[in-house]
Amino acid sequence: MNLKDCYIKFGGDFDEVLGRLRREQIVQKFVYKFLDDKSFHLFETSMGNKDYEEALRAVHTLKGICQNLSFTRLFESSNLVTKALKENDWNTASDMMPRLSMDYYETINAINEFKSSREE
C-alpha cells in the first residue's frame, strides 16, 4: 500500500496535496501526525457536555486540517457540522455526528493500515 492508495481509501485527493506541499515525505509526516490530533475527540467530548462553543472551535480546527491535507471526504462532513454549529443549529449538528465519526474512523483506520504496511 502506498500513500496514494491510502488517500483513495479514505476519500482524499493525494495529487492535490502533493501539488501544494511538494514532497511526499512531508505529506506522510502530517498524515501520521493526524493520528495524534485531538480535535475530533475534543469535539465529541464538548458535544457530550453541550459546550457548543468549544465544539465549534474543535470541529472548525478539524476542518482546517482536513483542508490542508486534502482529506476531502472528512473535510466535507466536518464542514457541514461546522456550519450547523455556527448557525447554532445544535440538533442538526448532533444528527450529523455519526456520519462525521464514521468518516473520521475510516480515515484513521486507513492511515493506520498504511502505517503498518510500511513498517513491515
Partner 1 sequence: MVKQKILIVDDSEMNRALLVDILEEQYDVIEVENGIEAISLLSKQRTDFSLLLLDIMMPEMDGFEVLAYINKHHWNDTFAVIMISADDSPANIKRAYDLGAFDYISRPFDSTIVHRRISNTMFLYARQQHLEKIIAEQFHEQEKNNKLMISILSHIVEFRNGESGLHILHVNTITKYLLKQLVQLTDQYPLSKADISLISTASALHDIGKISISDVILNKPGRLTVEEFEIIKTHSMVGANMLLDLPIEQQEAPLVKVATEICRWHHERYDGNGYPDGLKGEEIPIAAQVVALADVYDALTSERCYKKAYSHEEALKMILEGQCGAFNPSLLLCLQEIADTLENKLMDASPEQETKNIQDIRNKIDFDRLFSYEKYTFLSRKQRHLQLLYIDSLTSVYNRRYYDEHFQGTDNIQAMVVIDVDDFKHINDNYGHDVGDIVLQGIAQSVLSCVRKTDAVIRYGGDEFVIIFFSIPADIFEKKLKRIRHTVDRLIIDEHPELHMSVSIGGAYGTGHTKELFKAADNMMYQSKKVKNQVTICFLNEEEGSTNSI
Residue in 45, 67, 94, 101 binding partner 1, rule: CB under 8 A: 67
Give the span between the Cα atoms of 55 and 118, in whole angstroms.
34
Question: Which of 3, 17, 55, 74 forms a contact with partner 1 (CB under 8 A)?
Answer: 17
Under 8 Å between Cβ of 16 and 116: no
Q: Which of 2, 15, 19, 92 binds partner 1 (CB under 8 A)?
A: 19
Task: Report the 3 state secondary structure along 75-87.
Answer: HHHHHHHHHHHHC
> Minimum distance from CB of 40 to partner 1 (Å)?
12
Contact in structure between 85 and 52 (CB atoms under 8 Å): yes
CA distance 86 to 47: 14
Q: Which amino acid is at 44?
A: E
Q: Give the nearest distance from C-beta 37 to partner 1 in angstroms.
A: 5
Residue 115: CB minimum distance to partner 1, A: 17
Q: Which of 4, 9, 57, 115 binds partner 1 (CB under 8 A)?
A: 57
CB atoms < 10 A from the CB of 35, how many? 11
39 binds partner 1 (CB under 8 A): yes
Q: Using CB under 8 A as the criterion, which residues of the chain lie in contact with partner 1 when the complex forms?
A: 16-17, 19-22, 26, 29-30, 33-34, 37, 39, 54, 56-57, 60-61, 63-65, 67-70
